[in-house]
Amino acid sequence: MQKITLKNLTKKFGNDLILDHINMEIELGELVALLGPSGCGKTTTLKLISGLISPTDGDILFSDESVLDTPVEKRSSVLVFQDYLLFPHLNIAENISFGLKMRGVDKQTRLKKASDLLSLVDLPGYENYYPHEVSGGQKQRVSLARALAIDPQVLLLDEPLSNLDVNLREDMQELILELHSENDMTTIFVTHDHEEAMIMSDKIAIMNNGIIEQYGPGEELYKNPKNKFVADFFGNANYLLGEVKSGKFIYDSWEIPLKNQFNISDIKQINAAMIRPENVEFNKKIKNGLNFKAKIKERKFIGERVHYKLSLKNNKEIIVTVLSENTPPVKDEINIAVDYRNIWFMKI
């Protein structure tokens, strides 16, 4: 196992700044997700950690030692690409044991290891198949097995689940979690999908345009987003634009006490209160909360939940999600409550 530290990690391609002084610590044995939109630098970060490319500036430490001068094959890390990159002319067993062959391991040991790994990824008996004879999900498993063959201490996964359908995806999520905990590896994986990041990881780094917007446990990012970008990444949100006066957030005729929930050094900068759709409650009064009336403009039943669009008395529309039991119809005016603890303040 290795602790990984990224210190002011910077990468330029030509004049394009792709990673801009990234700082991050990944503790021993942690599973961390890099989450962000296309092109924000996630794959580049993995390639830098694996040693496939070199940084323009900054440092990468494994267990507090710089690895910048350590070549790819000596870094104890392995990068699994989303498009598998299996050798088409080698069978599955040969693909899995290729790295061992390069390290001079004898054939019998290699084949035994390949068989053991195939059982581990739930593909026993697939040794003699060729990559074109197995499905996308199976290729994904083979490429994981190939990565594990060299007993890496750091496993880097680039969108390992992106090509899989929902059921296979869930199976693979479980498999990765199992492999991660059984093999004592520090694991970093890239994803576009916030739910996947939440399910899989101890911590999430939200990346945007070559920087890390926020890094921490998923629940913390969801509940205490530093900014709109992070808040929006975890689903829908309502933003009420207003200002801070005498320690309160003023929106229309509402005065909302500022709770200790923001990562802003100067509270005067705050110009928005954020409310998640699921934190709005119907037909309820909350003592330490906002209580108001709203009109139901739209109602969409989607199974266990119902999505609403409500309009406030100043005509501002907000979105609300509630469990579908006893939900009111369109046109009703209803009493709404939001606990102050579920209102987040930020500058947008």
Ligand X SMILES: Nc1ncnc2c1ncn2[C@@H]1O[C@H](COP(=O)(O)OP(=O)(O)OP(=O)(O)O)[C@@H](O)[C@H]1O
Which residues of this protein are in contact with ligand X, per CB under 6 A? 13, 18, 36, 38-44
Q: How many CB atoms lie within 10 A of CB 35?
A: 28
In degrees and rounded to multiples of 5, residue 297 shows phi and psi of: -95, -35
- Scanning 136-256, the segments in alpha helix (DSSP H) are 136-148, 166-182, 194-200, 218-223, 228-233
Which residue, 17 or 90, is less far from ligand X as judged by CB? Answer: 17
Which residues, in sequence order, are bridge partners of residue 187? 31, 155
| Interstrand relation of 281-282 and 186-191 (parallel, antiparallel or unpaired) | unpaired
Which residue, 159 or 281, is less far from ligand X as judged by CB? Answer: 159
Q: Which two tokens stand for residue 239?
A: 């933003």
Count H helices, E strands: the chain?
Answer: 8, 21
| Interstrand relation of 333-339 and 57-62 (parallel, antiparallel or unpaired) | unpaired
Which residue, 36 or 160, is less far from ligand X as judged by CB? Answer: 36
Distances (CA, A) of 112 to 86, 148, 179, 240: 19, 14, 18, 61
Which residue, 43 or 187, is less far from ligand X as judged by CB? Answer: 43
Transcribe 17-45 into DSSP letters: EEEEEEEEEE-TT-EEEEE--TTSSHHHH
- Minimum distance from CB of 230 to ligand X (Å)? 16
Q: Are 185 and 1 in contact (CB under 8 A)?
A: yes
Which residues, in sequence order, are bridge partners of residue 215? 205
Which residue, 40 or 86, is less far from ligand X as judged by CB? Answer: 40
- Minimum distance from CB of 189 to ligand X (Å)? 12
Q: Which residues of 137-152 are buried (b: 16+ CB within 10 A; e: fewer)?
A: bbbbbbbbbbbbbbeb
Which residue, 143 or 238, is less far from ligand X as judged by CB? Answer: 143
Which residue, 49 or 144, is less far from ligand X as judged by CB? Answer: 49
- Minimum distance from CB of 177 to ligand X (Å)? 22
3-class DSSP state of 163: coil
- Minimum distance from CB of 15 to ligand X (Å)? 10
Which residue, 47 or 276, is less far from ligand X as judged by CB? Answer: 47
